[in-house]
Protein backbone atom coordinates (compact mmCIF):
# COMPACT_ATOMS: atom_id res chain seq x y z
CA UNK A 1 0.00 0.00 0.00
CA UNK A 2 1.50 3.39 -0.99
CA UNK A 3 2.46 5.69 1.85
CA UNK A 4 0.10 8.61 2.35
CA UNK A 5 1.01 11.41 4.69
CA UNK A 6 -1.59 12.28 7.28
CA UNK A 7 -3.42 15.62 7.32
CA UNK A 8 -1.45 16.55 10.43
CA UNK A 9 1.86 15.82 8.70
CA UNK A 10 0.86 17.83 5.64
CA UNK A 11 -0.22 20.74 7.83
CA UNK A 12 3.16 20.72 9.59
CA UNK A 13 4.97 20.70 6.25
CA UNK A 14 2.79 23.53 4.95
CA UNK A 15 3.42 25.53 8.11
CA UNK A 16 7.20 25.09 7.73
CA UNK A 17 7.05 26.16 4.09
CA UNK A 18 4.89 29.20 4.89
CA UNK A 19 7.13 30.28 7.75
CA UNK A 20 10.23 29.90 5.61
CA UNK A 21 8.72 31.93 2.78
CA UNK A 22 7.55 34.70 5.12
CA UNK A 23 11.06 34.88 6.53
CA UNK A 24 12.59 34.88 3.04
CA UNK A 25 10.53 37.95 2.08
CA UNK A 26 12.05 39.86 5.00
CA UNK A 27 15.59 38.61 4.30
CA UNK A 28 15.40 39.62 0.64
CA UNK A 29 13.94 43.02 1.59
CA UNK A 30 16.71 43.67 4.13
CA UNK A 31 19.71 42.34 2.20
CA UNK A 32 18.66 42.41 -1.41
CA UNK A 33 18.48 39.41 -3.71
CA UNK A 34 22.18 39.11 -4.50
CA UNK A 35 23.47 39.57 -0.94
CA UNK A 36 20.92 37.25 0.67
CA UNK A 37 21.98 33.62 0.93
CA UNK A 38 20.11 30.39 1.48
CA UNK A 39 21.96 30.11 4.79
CA UNK A 40 20.58 33.55 5.81
CA UNK A 41 17.05 32.39 5.06
CA UNK A 42 17.15 29.05 6.87
CA UNK A 43 18.92 30.59 9.88
CA UNK A 44 16.32 33.34 10.19
CA UNK A 45 13.49 30.83 9.70
CA UNK A 46 15.07 28.38 12.17
CA UNK A 47 14.81 25.43 9.79
CA UNK A 48 17.38 22.98 8.47
CA UNK A 49 18.98 23.69 5.13
CA UNK A 50 17.54 20.39 3.92
CA UNK A 51 14.08 21.83 4.50
CA UNK A 52 14.84 24.59 2.02
CA UNK A 53 15.94 22.12 -0.66
CA UNK A 54 12.90 19.97 0.01
CA UNK A 55 10.73 22.78 -1.36
CA UNK A 56 13.02 24.74 -3.69
CA UNK A 57 16.00 23.74 -5.87
CA UNK A 58 17.73 27.13 -5.54
CA UNK A 59 17.45 30.74 -4.39
CA UNK A 60 16.23 32.04 -7.75
CA UNK A 61 13.28 29.66 -7.84
CA UNK A 62 12.28 30.71 -4.33
CA UNK A 63 12.54 34.40 -5.22
CA UNK A 64 10.40 34.06 -8.35
CA UNK A 65 7.81 32.08 -6.39
CA UNK A 66 7.78 34.69 -3.62
CA UNK A 67 7.36 37.47 -6.15
CA UNK A 68 4.39 35.74 -7.77
CA UNK A 69 2.66 35.05 -4.44
CA UNK A 70 3.21 38.52 -2.99
CA UNK A 71 2.07 40.13 -6.25
CA UNK A 72 -1.15 38.07 -6.16
CA UNK A 73 -1.68 39.03 -2.51
CA UNK A 74 -1.25 42.75 -3.14
CA UNK A 75 -3.38 42.85 -6.28
CA UNK A 76 -6.19 40.85 -4.68
CA UNK A 77 -6.19 43.13 -1.63
CA UNK A 78 -6.37 46.25 -3.79
CA UNK A 79 -9.12 44.84 -6.01
CA UNK A 80 -11.25 43.95 -2.99
CA UNK A 81 -10.77 47.43 -1.55
CA UNK A 82 -11.43 49.37 -4.74
CA UNK A 83 -14.19 47.30 -6.32
CA UNK A 84 -16.69 47.84 -3.54
CA UNK A 85 -20.04 49.34 -4.66
CA UNK A 86 -19.06 52.85 -3.57
CA UNK A 87 -18.87 56.17 -5.36
CA UNK A 88 -15.58 56.85 -7.19
CA UNK A 89 -14.02 59.11 -4.56
CA UNK A 90 -14.63 56.51 -1.85
CA UNK A 91 -13.19 53.74 -4.03
CA UNK A 92 -10.02 55.79 -4.48
CA UNK A 93 -9.68 56.54 -0.77
CA UNK A 94 -10.34 52.91 0.19
CA UNK A 95 -7.82 51.63 -2.35
CA UNK A 96 -5.10 54.01 -1.19
CA UNK A 97 -5.79 53.15 2.45
CA UNK A 98 -5.46 49.44 1.69
CA UNK A 99 -2.12 49.97 -0.07
CA UNK A 100 -0.79 52.15 2.75
CA UNK A 101 -1.83 49.51 5.28
CA UNK A 102 0.18 46.87 3.42
CA UNK A 103 3.17 49.22 3.27
CA UNK A 104 2.98 49.84 7.03
CA UNK A 105 2.34 46.31 8.24
CA UNK A 106 4.01 44.28 5.48
CA UNK A 107 6.77 46.63 4.28
CA UNK A 108 8.90 43.73 3.07
CA UNK A 109 6.17 42.84 0.57
CA UNK A 110 6.23 46.34 -0.92
CA UNK A 111 10.04 46.39 -1.05
CA UNK A 112 10.12 42.97 -2.71
CA UNK A 113 7.63 43.96 -5.41
CA UNK A 114 8.73 47.53 -6.12
CA UNK A 115 12.47 47.32 -5.52
CA UNK A 116 13.68 43.75 -5.06
CA UNK A 117 12.34 42.52 -8.37
CA UNK A 118 14.00 45.23 -10.48
CA UNK A 119 16.83 43.62 -12.43
CA UNK A 120 17.42 41.04 -9.71
CA UNK A 121 16.53 37.92 -11.63
CA UNK A 122 16.31 37.80 -15.45
CA UNK A 123 13.64 35.09 -15.19
CA UNK A 124 11.43 37.55 -13.31
CA UNK A 125 10.86 39.88 -16.28
CA UNK A 126 7.51 38.36 -17.31
CA UNK A 127 6.19 38.25 -13.75
CA UNK A 128 7.12 41.87 -13.15
CA UNK A 129 5.43 42.91 -16.39
CA UNK A 130 2.29 41.03 -15.34
CA UNK A 131 2.36 42.68 -11.92
CA UNK A 132 2.64 46.19 -13.41
CA UNK A 133 -0.19 45.34 -15.80
CA UNK A 134 -2.27 44.14 -12.85
CA UNK A 135 -1.70 47.38 -10.97
CA UNK A 136 -2.74 49.39 -14.01
CA UNK A 137 -5.95 47.37 -14.39
CA UNK A 138 -6.76 47.80 -10.69
CA UNK A 139 -7.10 51.55 -11.31
CA UNK A 140 -8.31 51.43 -14.92
CA UNK A 141 -11.61 49.68 -14.17
CA UNK A 142 -12.95 52.18 -11.61
CA UNK A 143 -11.75 55.02 -13.85
CA UNK A 144 -13.75 53.64 -16.77
CA UNK A 145 -16.85 53.32 -14.58
CA UNK A 146 -16.43 56.86 -13.30
CA UNK A 147 -15.99 58.12 -16.87
CA UNK A 148 -19.18 56.35 -17.91
CA UNK A 149 -21.00 57.98 -14.98
CA UNK A 150 -19.75 61.43 -15.94
CA UNK A 151 -17.76 61.82 -12.71
CA UNK A 152 -14.40 62.49 -14.37
CA UNK A 153 -13.42 64.37 -17.52
CA UNK A 154 -12.83 62.65 -20.84
CA UNK A 155 -9.43 60.92 -20.85
CA UNK A 156 -7.50 57.80 -21.79
CA UNK A 157 -8.24 55.73 -18.69
CA UNK A 158 -5.45 53.26 -19.33
CA UNK A 159 -2.75 55.93 -19.44
CA UNK A 160 -4.24 57.66 -16.41
CA UNK A 161 -4.31 54.36 -14.52
CA UNK A 162 -0.65 53.65 -15.36
CA UNK A 163 0.29 57.14 -14.14
CA UNK A 164 -1.64 56.65 -10.90
CA UNK A 165 -0.02 53.26 -10.26
CA UNK A 166 3.45 54.73 -10.73
CA UNK A 167 2.78 57.79 -8.59
CA UNK A 168 1.33 55.76 -5.72
CA UNK A 169 4.29 53.37 -5.73
CA UNK A 170 6.77 56.25 -5.60
CA UNK A 171 4.99 57.94 -2.68
CA UNK A 172 4.78 54.68 -0.72
CA UNK A 173 8.47 53.95 -1.20
CA UNK A 174 9.25 57.43 0.11
CA UNK A 175 6.92 56.80 3.04
CA UNK A 176 8.75 53.61 3.97
CA UNK A 177 12.07 55.47 3.94
CA UNK A 178 10.87 57.74 6.76
CA UNK A 179 11.96 57.09 10.34
CA UNK A 180 8.34 56.93 11.49
CA UNK A 181 6.15 56.13 8.46
CA UNK A 182 3.06 55.48 10.56
CA UNK A 183 3.08 59.11 11.65
CA UNK A 184 2.67 60.29 8.04
CA UNK A 185 0.32 57.54 6.86
CA UNK A 186 -2.92 59.46 7.31
CA UNK A 187 -1.56 62.46 5.42
CA UNK A 188 -0.34 60.20 2.61
CA UNK A 189 -3.81 58.66 2.20
CA UNK A 190 -5.41 62.11 2.13
CA UNK A 191 -2.88 63.65 -0.25
CA UNK A 192 -2.84 60.74 -2.70
CA UNK A 193 -6.64 60.65 -2.77
CA UNK A 194 -6.80 64.38 -3.49
CA UNK A 195 -4.09 64.02 -6.13
CA UNK A 196 -5.97 61.29 -7.99
CA UNK A 197 -9.31 63.07 -7.83
CA UNK A 198 -7.73 66.31 -9.04
CA UNK A 199 -5.73 64.64 -11.80
CA UNK A 200 -8.81 62.90 -13.18
CA UNK A 201 -10.99 66.00 -13.05
CA UNK A 202 -13.39 64.41 -10.60
CA UNK A 203 -16.64 66.25 -9.92
CA UNK A 204 -19.32 64.65 -7.75
CA UNK A 205 -22.91 64.47 -8.93
CA UNK A 206 -25.25 66.77 -7.02
CA UNK A 207 -29.01 66.41 -7.46
CA UNK A 208 -28.54 64.61 -10.73
CA UNK A 209 -26.23 67.30 -12.10
CA UNK A 210 -22.44 67.24 -12.38
Query: CATH number, domain at 122?
Result: 1.10.357.10
Same domain, 110 and 173: yes
pLDDT (tens, 9 = 90+) of the chain, 210 residues, equals 454 545 555 556 677 888 888 899 999 888 888 889 999 999 999 988 999 999 999 999 999 889 999 999 999 999 999 988 889 999 999 999 999 999 999 998 898 888 876 666 777 888 889 999 999 999 999 999 999 999 999 999 999 999 999 999 999 999 999 999 999 999 999 999 999 999 999 998 765 554
Same domain, 44 and 99: no
Q: Domain count of the chain?
A: 2
Same domain, 52 and 132: no
Same domain, 34 and 136: no
- The total of other beta-carbon atoms located within 10 Å of residue 114's CB is 19
- The total of other beta-carbon atoms located within 10 Å of residue 49's CB is 12
Contact assessment for residue 168 and residue 192, using Cβ atoms and an 8 Å cutoff: yes
In a domain, 205, yes or no: no
pTM exceeds cut of 0.95:
no
Torsion angle, CA of 60/65/70/71, rounded to 10 degrees?
100
Q: For the domain that residue 46 is a member of, what is the CATH number?
A: 1.10.10.60
20: containing domain: 8-56
Same domain, 50 and 68: no
In a domain, 50, yes or no: yes
Can you state the angle between helices 7-31 and 38-45, rounded to 10 degrees? 120
In a domain, 2, yes or no: no
In a domain, 42, yes or no: yes
Contact assessment for residue 77 and residue 27, using Cβ atoms and an 8 Å cutoff: no
In a domain, 72, yes or no: yes
Amino acid sequence: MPYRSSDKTRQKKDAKRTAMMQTAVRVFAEKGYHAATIRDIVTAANVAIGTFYFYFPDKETLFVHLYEETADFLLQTLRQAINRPDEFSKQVATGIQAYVNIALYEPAVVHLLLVGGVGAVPALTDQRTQFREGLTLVWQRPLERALGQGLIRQQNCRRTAAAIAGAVDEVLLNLLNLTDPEREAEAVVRDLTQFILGATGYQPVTNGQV
